[in-house]
C-alpha cells in the first residue's frame, strides 16, 4: 500500500490555492468553487483541498511535508511572506521541524528527518 493523497478541508478554495502555491505545490486540478489538487514537488503524492464549513476554534488537520534543505526552504518561504509559528528546531524525536498554519488553521509541519523518519533508534524490530 502507498499513500496517494491527503485532502484537507478549507473555507475558501481560491485563498488556499494561493497559499499552497506559495508553499511550493503545483496546481493540477482547479474545480472551483469546491475542489483543487496539487502535485508535490518531489515523489508521486498529491495534496487536495475541498470546500467545507469549518468551525473556527476547532483544531484542524496536521500535515507533514518533508524537505531536505529545511532551513533554506523556510527562509525562501518567509521571503514570500509566509509567517511561521515556529522556525526550524531540532526535536527530541530526532526530526528538525518548522511550523505554520494555512489560512484555515490547519497545522503544517515542514521537517527533515532523514533516516530517523522510518528508522528511529526506538523502532520496533520484529
Q: CA-CA distance, 8 to 46, in Å (whole number)?
A: 11
Q: What residue numbers bound the domain in which 87 lies? A: 5-116
What is residue 13's predicted lDDT score, i.e. its pLDDT? 96
Written as nine digits, the cell of 106 is 490547519
CA angle, corner 17, sides to 112 and 45, nearest 5? 45
Judge whether 61 lies within some domain: yes
What is residue 49's predicted lDDT score, i.e. its pLDDT? 97
Judge whether 57 lies within some domain: yes
pTM for this predicted structure: 0.89
CA angle, corner 18, sides to 61 and 29, nearest 5? 80
What is residue 60's predicted lDDT score, i.e. its pLDDT? 74
Given a contact cutoff of 8 angstroms between Cβ atoms, the answer to whether 77 and 99 are in contact is no
Judge whether 124 lies within some domain: no
Judge whether 90 lies within some domain: yes
**Is the alpha carbon torsion for 51, 48, 71, 95 positive or negative?**
positive
Judge whether 123 lies within some domain: no
Written as nine digits, the cell of 52 is 467545507
Judge whether 35 lies within some domain: yes
Judge whether 72 lies within some domain: yes
Query: Between β-strands 35-39 and 46-51, what pairing exists: parallel, antiparallel or unpaired?
Result: antiparallel
Low-confidence ranges of the chain (pLDDT < 50): none
Judge whether 83 lies within some domain: yes
CATH of the domain at 90: 3.10.180.10
What is residue 54's predicted lDDT score, i.e. its pLDDT? 73
Q: CA-CA distance, 10 to 52, in Å (whole number)?
A: 6
Q: How many domains does the chain have?
A: 1
Amino acid at each position: 500500500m502507498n499513500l496517494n493523497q491527503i485532502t484537507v478541508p478549507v473555507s475558501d478554495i481560491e485563498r488556499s490555492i494561493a497559499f499552497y502555491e506559495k508553499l511550493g505545490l503545483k496546481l493540477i486540478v482547479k474545480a472551483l468553487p469546491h475542489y483543487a489538487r496539487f502535485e508535490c514537488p518531489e515523489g508521486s503524492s498529491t495534496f487536495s483541498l475541498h470546500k467545507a464549513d469549518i468551525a473556527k476554534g476547532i483544531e484542524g488537520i496536521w500535515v507533514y511535508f518533508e524537505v531536505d534543505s529545511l532551513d533554506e526552504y523556510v527562509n525562501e518561504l518567509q521571503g514570500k511572506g509566509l509567517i511561521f509559528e515556529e522556525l526550524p528546531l531540532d526535536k527530541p524525536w530526532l526530526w528538525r521541524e518548522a511550523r505554520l498554519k494555512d489560512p484555515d488553521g490547519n497545522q503544517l509541519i515542514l521537517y527533515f528527518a532523514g533516516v530517523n523518519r522510518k528508522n528511529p533508534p526506538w523502532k520496533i524490530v520484529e
